[in-house]
Amino acid sequence: MATALQLSAQETQNFAIAIHGGAGTIEKSRFTPEQEKAYRLKLKEAVEAGYKVLEKGGDSLDAITIAINILEDSPFFNAGKGAVYTYDGHHELDASIMDGKNRQAGAVSGVMHIKNPINLAREVMDNSVHVMLSGKGAETFAKQQGLEVVPASYFNTSHRHEALLRAKEKLKQKESGTKDYQALHQTLPEQYKMGTVGAVALDKNGNLAAGTSTGGMTAKRFGRVGDSPIIGAGTFADNNSCAVSATGHGEYFIRYNVAADICARVAYQNKTIAQAGQDVIFGPMYRDGGTGGVIIVDKEGNISMPFNTKGMYRASKSNRSATYVGIFK
């Protein structure tokens, strides 16, 4: 049972949650009013489900897991059900989660049959001696833990398949100049290179948590792994500073260690999360061509959601601020 002292601390502790559903070329002109409403309702549903956990005194890890599950189960976002296709027509999913209380973390990459990859990342953190598992080994572990396994066809959606066909057609059109896949893929428009879901939260006990889940990059090859399952790049949480989940062109977020860099600036330079996020998202990474955004919550319950693209699906709520949902810049 909680002591009177613990209950008193909970009553004065701020709590907050922020979520994202990916950043990129998200323009209002591309949405019908009905589509925009549907996206906003799904973001609202996810952030409020996570918030209810926090409001009842629940753990930040549980709050972000529930919120991410809702986004993974929706075909709107590039994670879980809405995962994009690889070049060969498969789905390879990645996810990671981190506990700010003790820096415990779990991650998975390249799984093809796990309904909710964030749940598997959580199992890796809680019930294995490792931080990251991949491919068939990760799926064997998932079955041992009793997680829901689905046929590969579960992740099939017509709009993602059409995106793969368009991407392959664009790659084919460029082939006359080079046969190098890396160079060819660089020519693809921004929207084929990003798409992720994530959540960050602070609970009434002062614990921060962050999680990220993705279907990766359209037409990716050779077992490509982006930033989403990499602790420090796509996900980071530390009670002494902040919690971050990233979305964007993963290769840049890996090279610039984005999530950990933001928290380091908060911890060591005494910057606010708004300042630290702005410095990183619009800093050297951006000047080098890196596009995307992050959601951040600090140990005081402040929220920041900077992005350098035309839009980012995002939502937030705290004990001091009403539900906010945004899509466009």
Q: Which residues are catalytic?
A: 196
- Report the chain's C-alpha Rg in angstroms: 19
Contact criterion met (CB below 8 Å) for 92 and 110: yes
| Among 61, 71, 73, 64, residue whose Cα is nearest residue 99 | 61
| Among 71, 70, 73, 50, residue whose Cα is nearest residue 62 | 50
| Among 231, 226, 230, residue whose Cα is nearest residue 193 | 226
Cα–Cα distance between 306 and 329 in angstroms, integer?
10
DSSP E strands: which ranges in 104-241?
104-111, 132-134, 197-202, 208-214, 235-237
Q: Could you give the 3-state DSSP secondary structure of residue 31?
A: coil
Tokens 């380091």, residue located: 264
Cα–Cα distance between 180 and 16 in angstroms, integer?
46
DSSP E strands: which ranges in the chain?
16-24, 93-99, 104-111, 132-134, 197-202, 208-214, 235-237, 242-248, 292-298, 303-304, 311-318, 321-328
> Which residues are paired to 293 by β-bridges?
247, 307
* Burial environment of residue 227 by CB neighbours within 10 A (0 to 12, 13 to 18, 19 or more): buried
Dig out the tokens for 320 from the structure. 């001091």
Cα–Cα distance between 52 and 74 in angstroms, integer?
20
